[in-house]
Amino acid sequence: MLHPDASTRQTLEQRIDALAPGMEIYKPEGRGPFPVVIQLHGCGGKKALQGRWAAQAREAGWAAVVVDSYRHRKISNLEAYSMVCTGLKLWGKERAGDAYAALEWARRQSWADPQCMALAGWSHGGWTALDALAMHPGKEMEAATGLTGFPKEPLAGVVGAFLVYPFAGPGSVARMKGLRVDVSPVAIVGTHDMIVGGRSLARTLENMSTPGAPIDVHLFEGATHAFDEIEARDMRVTYDPDVTANSQDIYREYLTGLRTGVPNVRAAG
């Protein structure tokens, strides 16, 4: 299924209710309000690495919400790798509905700062984040996500985007149209990424149309896809502790910078 059909359509409220039980929340000490980053996992599903990255966000003074996009869809590990990772099911633009729902959920929490929010995505989650930042409210979002009942600006309060080896190939709305909002995105790419591309992906991201600052790509020589996954069992990927540490430093510093003064999201056009 490449596009949502009538049988799978939901309201944004229904998606929030479906996602909430599977969310993992990492908050700094204190009452807040805290800036909030929504973390979107790769096509293999929610893994332990998300908690390690969320700890970096918490150290930067942010609350991290790790979203499980498979639990409510009942997507098994086998189905994830055979259907989602191969592009046969759940494209980024459809899954963007989870990003919009998680953002709306976070805005309603007493401990959250609705004026300082960000999206972070790994691989398929990066695709999702990019497409969420590219689509226009109204018919385009509704058709792509299968959701109705969006607020006037589903990206209200979003001030940043952090992308780790994101997919930006055929089927990516962001690749075709560019980003709609100005969030000064940062991306991490490895030169030896055989899954989403290395230098070619870096060029695609650097050339992607944005309404403000271009995507700031950090290219790590020799790094593969999923370089941050200690538990990886894929022959195409190699865990690299140094690249992981450097990338997490960039994540922490990026979020710290956003917290200390980046303006609210601005729509282009």
Mean pLDDT of the chain: 93
Closest by CA to 258, choosing from 208, 183, 190, is 183
Q: Helix 124-134 vs helix 92-107: angle between axes, to the nearest 10 degrees? A: 70
CA distance 66 to 108: 16
Q: Is 258 exposed, middle or buried (0-12, 13-18, 19+ CB in 10 A)?
A: buried
Q: Tokens 């790509």 belong to which residue? A: 217
Q: How confident is the model at residue 9 (pLDDT cuts 50, 70, 90)?
A: confident
CA distance 196 to 84: 14
* Contact indicator for 252, 57 with CB cutoff of 8 Å: yes
* Contact indicator for 243, 220 with CB cutoff of 8 Å: yes
Report the chain's C-alpha Rg in angstroms: 17
* Contact indicator for 67, 19 with CB cutoff of 8 Å: yes
* Contact indicator for 266, 211 with CB cutoff of 8 Å: yes
Reply yes or no on whether the pLDDT at 49 is more than 80: yes
CA separation, residue 92 to residues 66, 105, 175, 244 (Å)? 17, 20, 12, 24
Reply yes or no on whether the pLDDT at 223 is more than 90: yes
Q: Please say whether the dihedral angle defined by the alpha carbons of residues 71, 75, 78 and 84, taken in this order, is positive or negative.
A: negative
User: Which letter does DSSP use for residue 260 in this model?
Assistant: T
Reply yes or no on whether the pLDDT at 264 is more than 50: no
Q: Which residues pair with 187 in a beta bridge?
A: 163, 217
Instruction: Write phi, then psi, for 40 (nearest 5 degrees).
Output: -115, 120
CA distance 231 to 238: 10
* Contact indicator for 190, 198 with CB cutoff of 8 Å: yes
14-29 confidence digits (pLDDT tens):
999 999 999 999 999 9
Percent of the chain with pLDDT over 90: 90
75-102 confidence digits (pLDDT tens):
999 999 999 999 999 999 999 999 999 9
Reply yes or no on whether the pLDDT at 266 is more than 80: no
Q: Is the peptide bond before 241 cis (omega within 30 degrees of 0)?
A: no
What pLDDT shows up at residue 234? 86
CA distance 162 to 215: 10
CA distance 255 to 37: 9
User: Which letter does DSSP use for residue 22 in this model?
Assistant: G
101-116 confidence digits (pLDDT tens):
999 999 999 999 999 9
Reply yes or no on whether the pLDDT at 263 is more than 90: no
Going along the chain from its start, the domains and CATH numbers come out as: 6-259 (3.40.50.1820)
